[in-house]
Structure 1
Amino acid sequence: MIIKKPLVTIYITNYNYGSYIEEAVESALQQTYDFIEIIIIDDGSTDQSKYIIESYTNRKNIQSVYQENKGLTKTNNVALAMANGDYIVRLDADDILHKDAIENLISGFTCDDVAMVFGNWNVVDEKGSFLFTYKRHDFQKDVTLMDSPAHGACTMFKTDYLRSIGGYDEDLRCQDGYELWFRVIDKFKVKNIDKVIFDYRRHGNNLTGSEDRILSTRANILRKVASNKSVNKSKSFAFIPVRGSNIDSRSMPFQKIGENYIIDLVLDDVIQAKVFDKIVVSTPDEVLIRYLQEKKYKNVITHLRSNSSAKINTSLDQLLSEYIRSEGADLQTTEFGMVIGIERPFNKGYLIQSAIDIARIFNVDNVIGVRPNSEIFFRHTGSSLDGVNFSSNSLRLERDDFYEMVRGFNVFRTNNLIKSNSLWGNVIGHVVFDQKSAFAIDSQLDVFLAEKLQAL
């Protein structure tokens, strides 16, 4: 008996990738899996893309669409509406599918409730030369914290399942895969396969051009997810410890950056986040106390603490624990607290909001701010330097990704702190910071640099 294989729709999205699109189309045509249709959607290109696409118009399994520029998410929905396949996968016009990609992805749909399957990928340069292989975690064995979405491209979906959750959110101009991930995992299972599926081409046009745009879009997605899950109703508070320059020369609340004091820059961002029922500034500096009382910031209260409690080696865990107990039910009934330092004057309200949303969505104990660090690290073993995240075979494992912690940014569970006198729990989530927001001031040189950053 001949068993008919399911049809797979590969759609190729293109905007001014005329230098690469032929390789992408050919990689789709050369699949070892035979039952495919290909939809090429040109999103208003102004380069030579149309001439290359037209050379494929006589192929019976290829459809071409030319449209005015709509952006990626709307283009994804155009493809979803056109798709005849039981399964659908997007190939960006600057990437290349491996010959057995579709066959391998199909093999991952081993039960009816799996909605999406994804794999590993090679990173190549703009000429297609291999740089390294990126290998994902094993989602079947290792992953319990589902905060690392699949790659937006070359992930295969069951077409009907993707349509059933409404397709792509057209309000977004980027981060389509990040948004879709939350809606998929809310209703279905996902699966990754330990095989390289495609070559991701790293070049000037697809490297992150605006961290702020991407991270603010993520923040909006997290806000919507948190709202839909009704997990944004519990109380939270912010705790801003300020030693003051009399105790620590690096603590500079009244240092001006541009026209504003650092303390005002920090408070403005914390208030802008609109997630805290109370904002506590804890300091032994009576001048700062009077200043804040005169400013009359909404929801900001001051806590005058002793000089001894503000020494550099004083435990912040102990200080916070004692303060929460002294405030009684008002703070003890809050779900989350958040420590925010003043050494970083360029916090953004949406990053603070994202941290609280992540804590609630994923039910973690802590959320910290991080910067991804792609540098190679070594440790001294006594006899040699040993690579910590270095592999001579050019394999990069997701488990070996390094993140640098952003100082003075930590969401914690209030109950955990009360019970254990420690800010730290077992499960730690993260929110990615842009470079400017992560910048910390420790010296007058940093003040000079902050003045330059403020102007950007």
Structure 2
Amino acid sequence: MPTVSIILPTYNRAGFVQAAIQSALAQTYTDYELIVVDDGSTDETVNQVRAIVDSRLIYVAHNQNKGAAAARNTGMRMAQGDYIAFLDSDDTWHPQKLEQQVEFLENNSGLGGCVTSYRLVFDDHSVIREIAMEPSFYQQSLKGCNLSPGSTLLFKKECLEKVGYQNESLKRFEDWEWQIRFARFYEWQRVPVVLADIRAGHTVNFETVKQALSYFQTIITTLPNNDQKTIKMAIFYELFYASWKNRLWGCACGYLAKSFLQMPHGCVGFMVSLLRRKVKERSKAGRVCVEK
């Protein structure tokens, strides 16, 4: 049995999927299986995947598009490893990513998983993102899935017994909802080394975001009231950001106000921390050195 199961979901990413797969196959840590889940692609994705021959690569295809959560769940149900790693099909790993994370978790047995620093790659520049871990992983998770992208996560498969799989009814933010459940039982920590390149710059349809977050609010009602307030503050911020990116200026202002009113002190602190990060990243954009 392999020690690590890599889950690589993909949908119409023919132009990127080979680079993602090759970055997994180039790992210095070699005891793994790579499960590529094609979520009903209609482009040349299947040909791009099948052009790569490697005994560790397992290809499975959905007969229709079911969403990122369903694709990851298919991979997790197939996984044979003690650890599970996610890799999005437009992202890439640095060669020592798995080696350093497996070693980190084996030396920190009380953790459920770990993430890494990463390089966020835009069309015309890149920035290094090193997000500090707060004292409470659970409280930090309530504020959004912004600790680190799924492509930097490695976690123990045994955690799924308590956490469960991702919610397939969510077409966006499924990783955030799953992270909150994860944080109720287990801690993550960050390996402070840049070990992945994450493609940025996607603009998501506002209605898709709105529908997903409306449903999100209906599945957090069992949480304590203060936790629900923190999540709703973050939800309104996500709606603000999505409407701003889609040039819906009036909606953006309204959602920003709702985020503030939901939890004034928390919102200010949240916004200040995001602003500091943005300023720091802008000052370093294009002049970053990636650790390997």
Q: Smaller-chain TM-score range?
A: 0.7 to 0.9
Is the 1:223–1:354 contact (alpha carbons within 8 Å) kept by the matching residues of 2? Answer: no
| Inter-partner Cα distance in structure 1 for 2:45 and 2:285 | 38
Query: Per chain length, whose mean CA-contact separation is higher, i.e. which structure has more relative contact order (CA < 8 Å, sep 6+)?
Result: 2
The residue that corresponds to 1:8 in the other structure is 4
The residue that corresponds to 2:247 in the other structure is none
Paired residue secondary structure (2:168)? coil
Is the 1:140–1:191 contact (alpha carbons within 8 Å) kept by the matching residues of 2? Answer: no
1:208 aligns with 2:242: no
1:134 aligns with 2:129: yes
Is the 2:32–2:56 contact (alpha carbons within 8 Å) kept by the matching residues of 1? Answer: yes
Matches within 5 A, 1:213-224: 213-214=208-209, 217-218=212-213, 220-224=215-219
Residue by residue over 1:47-75, the C-alpha shift from the partner in whole angstroms, topping out at 9 and shown as x without a partner, is 1111111123x522111011121110111
Per the normalisation by structure 1, the TM-score is 0.50
Q: CA deviation at 1:164?
A: 2.7
Is the 1:122–1:133 contact (alpha carbons within 8 Å) kept by the matching residues of 2? Answer: yes
Residue by residue over 1:112-151, the C-alpha shift from the partner in whole angstroms, topping out at 9 and shown as x without a partner, is 431121011112246xx86221111144699974425332
The residue that corresponds to 2:284 in the other structure is 391
Is the 1:108–1:191 contact (alpha carbons within 8 Å) kept by the matching residues of 2? Answer: no
Moved more, 366-375 or 36-45: 366-375
Q: CA deviation at 1:370?
A: 5.5
| Inter-partner Cα distance in structure 2 for 1:9 and 1:388 | 33
The residue that corresponds to 1:65 in the other structure is 60
* Residue number among 341, 364, 367 corresponding to 2:267 in the alignment: 367
User: Aligned residues: percent identity?
Assistant: 20
Paired residue secondary structure (2:151)? coil
Q: CA RMSD in A?
A: 3.8
Structure number with larger C-alpha Rg: 1
Q: Counterpart amino acid of 1:120?
A: S
Is the 2:8–2:72 contact (alpha carbons within 8 Å) kept by the matching residues of 1? Answer: no
* Residue number among 83, 93, 117 corresponding to 2:79 in the alignment: 83
* Residue number among 202, 206, 222 corresponding to 1:228 in the alignment: 222
| Inter-partner Cα distance in structure 2 for 1:388 and 1:13 | 29
| Inter-partner Cα distance in structure 2 for 1:48 and 1:60 | 22
Paired residue secondary structure (2:24)? helix
Mark the runs of 5 or more structure 2 residues left unpaired by the alignment: 229-249
Instruction: Evaluate the alpha carbon distance shift between residue 351 and residue 141 of structure 1 in structure 2; reply closer, same or farther with a 3 A threshold.
Output: closer
Matches within 5 A, 1:56-205: 56=52, 58-67=53-62, 68-109=64-105, 110-125=107-122, 131-139=126-134, 145-146=140-141, 147-149=143-145, 150=147, 151-202=149-200
Q: Counterpart amino acid of 1:224?
A: I
Q: CA deviation at 1:172?
A: 0.3
Q: Counterpart amino acid of 1:115?
A: G
The residue that corresponds to 1:404 in the other structure is none
Q: Counterpart amino acid of 1:79?
A: G
Residue by residue over 1:156-183, the C-alpha shift from the partner in whole angstroms, topping out at 9 and shown as x without a partner, is 1211203431110111001122111111
Paired residue secondary structure (1:18)? coil
Instruction: Evaluate the alpha carbon distance shift between residue 395 and residue 142 of structure 1 in structure 2; reply closer, same or farther with a 3 A threshold.
Output: farther
Q: Counterpart amino acid of 2:24?
A: A
The residue that corresponds to 2:234 in the other structure is none
Per the normalisation by structure 2, the TM-score is 0.75
Q: Which has the higher strand share?
A: 1
